[in-house]
A and B are shown apart, each in its own frame.
Chain A
Amino acid sequence: MITAERKPMEEILEFVRPYSRILLVGCNECVTVCAAGGRKEVGILSAGLQMALMKEGKTLDVKEVTLERQCDPEYVEELVTYIDQADIILSMACGCGVQEIARRYKEKPVYPALNTKFMGASERQGIWAERCQGCGDCLLGITGGICPIARCSKRIMNGPCGGSTQGKCEISSDVDCVWQLIWDRLKALGMENRYEDIMAAKDWRSSRDGGPRKIIREDLAE
């Protein structure tokens, strides 16, 4: 999923202070799962903003809506009934949701209430970690199902580097050395002999380096 964290309250307050009516929009997908921008977080932020502004002697009119998917035009369309009553839209979706709103409602400013972080997975309750960078040409079949692009601090494709220490990465003892993980997994799979195959320089065109990407499915496109 796409993970996100709420921006600091003060930064969000800066966005809303000049206005009196905001449309606060959550999303029912990834940001709900990572507890950053679902219905619950929308309620908490709404109350927090109103309270903070009340202390400053202002009233804030907040309309709370949580869409099924903010990155989908079909659901974003649902905001049409509320848009006229709002000065701005404050989005609690990932950057994709924020941009979908900006694309649809050209006349209203939209602000992000979250910092979108990474594509990751839940390691345990309350902890999410990065897993994939969407490089566009997946190598997981060679690396035992563990991604060096997203999870090696230096995205080394033929690791581990000389800084790997007791399973941890040179940048911090809180970060696993992904090449230790890959090696352990290759061993467990009896695939150690694969280790000495050199992974050639990557063609980054399939990644962000090739410019903004698009998927066109002729069979589905209208």
Chain B
Amino acid sequence: MKTESNIEKILASGQLVVTSECGPPRGAVPEKVKEKAEMLRGYVDGINVTDNQTAMVRMSSLAACIIIKQMGLDPILQMVTRDRNRLAMQSDIIGAYAHGINTMLCLSGDHPHFGDHPMAANVYDLDSIQFIQMVKKMRDEGKFQGGEDIDTPPKMFIGAAANPFADPFELRVARLAKKIKAGVDFIQTQCVYNLDKFETWMKGVCDRGLHEKVAILPGITPMKTAGMARYMKNKVPGMDVPDELVKRMAGVPKEKQAEEGIKISIEAIERLKEVEGVRGFHIMAIEWEQKVPEIVEKAGLLPRPQF
């Protein structure tokens, strides 16, 4: 084992992993973090904590991860290269590890253009692939990115994102291969609605044997309303929501749409479980965390393994 990560242990045991996500509050409200995390206890194996998601300022991922860790749960530290240079990133990684956080997700992050500080300087000292290389070097060689030795290196289980639906599609397997070459251990994908396209991508992944080198967890996000489905289809870059799904959501009465959205998610999980190379699920219910337990349960993913 490379790390003490719960995710790594479950993957090594051959069982499916379930992760979820918790966006920290836009203020100093630790109770909010605890409340969201508590809902997930016993239902997921790791909780991603977003890092200024959509370029909006929130409580730091590291601080919220510490709160969650102190609750006896397993946070996954998300970190974007948008806001920090390599000095700041490495010091936060050491800080996180010093608090027992052993799993992280390396991202480039949304451009500040999308958030509440579009006037901010964007850092982008590293990109996500160089970021993965840095964390791996810290872990496996015990060296900082700059080359000097670390006294007690942080042993992080390294995650990253992949979006099978972004363009150009023909590069999507190749870019995953680059992340693997850089040293990524697990991948959480963009929300999967277009199952056919996801399966095509997965086939490309398996054809190259990449599924043996990295654990892929498709992203599952339940839609609350037909409006949300339409919004994601039209407004979110890199999101692929097929017309049939929008129609299906719109085809049920408003008060039943949330339920339909959950049903769609469960069906997706059932189908994706059978896909070669799928090693678990990343269930992101944005500002709807209370629904995660229901999805996990109805998708037959309980009980969660204990180590």
Interface residues in chain A, defined as those with a beta carbon under 8 Å from any beta carbon in chain B:
153-167, 170-172, 177, 180, 183, 195-196, 198-201, 204
B124 in complex: contacting residue of A154, A160, A177, CB < 8 Å: A154
Tell me which residues across on chain B come within 8 A of A160, comparing CB atoms.
166-168, 171, 175
CA separation between A199 and B131, bound complex, in Å? 12
Tell me which residues across on chain A come within 8 A of B171, comparing CB atoms.
160, 183, 195
Interface residues in chain B, defined as those with a beta carbon under 8 Å from any beta carbon in chain A:
82, 86, 108-111, 113-114, 122, 124-130, 133-134, 145, 161-163, 166-168, 171, 174-175, 177-178, 181-182, 190, 237-238
Contact B181 A198 (CB under 8 A): yes
Contact A180 B133 (CB under 8 A): no
Tell me which residues across on chain A come within 8 A of B113, comparing CB atoms.
153, 171-172
Tell me which residues across on chain A come within 8 A of B237, comparing CB atoms.
163-165, 170
Contact A170 B110 (CB under 8 A): yes
Instruction: Tell me the number of A-to-B contacts counted with CB atoms below 8 Å.
Output: 92
Contact A162 B190 (CB under 8 A): yes
CA separation between A155 and B130, bound complex, in Å? 12
Known: A153-B113, A154-B124. A167 touches B167 (CB 8 A): yes
Contact B174 A196 (CB under 8 A): yes
Give 19 A-B contacts (CB < 8 Å), ordered by A residue: A153-B111, A154-B124, A158-B175, A158-B178, A160-B167, A162-B190, A163-B163, A163-B166, A164-B167, A170-B110, A171-B114, A183-B171, A198-B130, A198-B181, A200-B133, A201-B86, A201-B125, A201-B134, A204-B125
Contact A156 B145 (CB under 8 A): no
CA separation between A201 and B126, bound complex, in Å? 6
Contact B133 A201 (CB under 8 A): yes
Residue in chain B with minimal CB distance to A163: B237
Known: A154-B122, A195-B174. A161 touches B130 (CB 8 A): no
Tell me which residues across on chain B come within 8 A of A198, comparing CB atoms.
129-130, 133, 178, 181-182
CA separation between A113 and B37, bound complex, in Å? 55
Tell me which residues across on chain A come within 8 A of B134, comparing CB atoms.
201
Tell me which residues across on chain B come within 8 A of A195, comparing CB atoms.
171, 174
Give 9 A-B pairs besides A156-B128, A165-B166 with Cβ atoms closer than 8 angstroms: A154-B111, A156-B108, A161-B166, A162-B238, A164-B237, A170-B110, A170-B237, A170-B238, A183-B168
Minimum Cβ distance to chain B for residue A50 (Å) = 35
Contact A171 B111 (CB under 8 A): yes
A164 in complex: contacting residue of B122, B168, B178, B181, CB < 8 Å: B168
Contact B168 A180 (CB under 8 A): yes
Contact B129 A165 (CB under 8 A): no
Residue in chain B with minimal CB distance to A200: B130
Tell me which residues across on chain A come within 8 A of B86, comparing CB atoms.
201
Minimum Cβ distance to chain B for residue A133 (Å) = 12
B238 in complex: contacting residue of A155, A158, A165, A180, CB < 8 Å: A165
Contact A196 B178 (CB under 8 A): yes
Tell me which residues across on chain A come within 8 A of B175, comparing CB atoms.
158, 160
Known: A183-B168, A198-B182. A162 touches B124 (CB 8 A): no
Contact A154 B127 (CB under 8 A): yes
Minimum Cβ distance to chain A for residue B158 (Å) = 15
Tell me which residues across on chain B come within 8 A of A199, comparing CB atoms.
130
Contact A201 B145 (CB under 8 A): yes
CA separation between A153 and B237, bound complex, in Å? 14
Contact A166 B181 (CB under 8 A): no
CA separation between A170 and B168, bound complex, in Å? 13
Tell me which residues across on chain B come within 8 A of A156, comparing CB atoms.
108, 124, 127-128
Known: A158-B127, A204-B125. A164 touches B166 (CB 8 A): yes
Known: A159-B127, A162-B161, A201-B134. A154 touches B108 (CB 8 A): yes
Contact B167 A158 (CB under 8 A): no
B166 in complex: contacting residue of A154, A162, A172, CB < 8 Å: A162
Contact B127 A177 (CB under 8 A): no
CA separation between A170 and B129, bound complex, in Å? 18
Residue in chain A with minimal CB distance to B182: A198
Residue in chain B with minimal CB distance to A179: B171
CA separation between A160 and B237, bound complex, in Å? 13
For the complex of A and B, the 3 pairs showing the least CB-CB separation, nearest first, are: A162-B163, A170-B237, A158-B129
Residue in chain A with minimal CB distance to B171: A183
CA separation between A198 and B136, bound complex, in Å? 15
Residue in chain B with minimal CB distance to A155: B124
Contact A164 B238 (CB under 8 A): yes
Contact B108 A165 (CB under 8 A): no
CA separation between A191 and B181, bound complex, in Å? 19
Tell me which residues across on chain A come within 8 A of B109, comparing CB atoms.
154
CA separation between A166 and B86, bound complex, in Å? 31
Tell me which residues across on chain B come within 8 A of A153, comparing CB atoms.
111, 113
A180 in complex: contacting residue of B161, B167, B177, CB < 8 Å: B167
Contact B167 A165 (CB under 8 A): yes
Minimum Cβ distance to chain B for residue A157 (Å) = 5
CA separation between A198 and B126, bound complex, in Å? 12
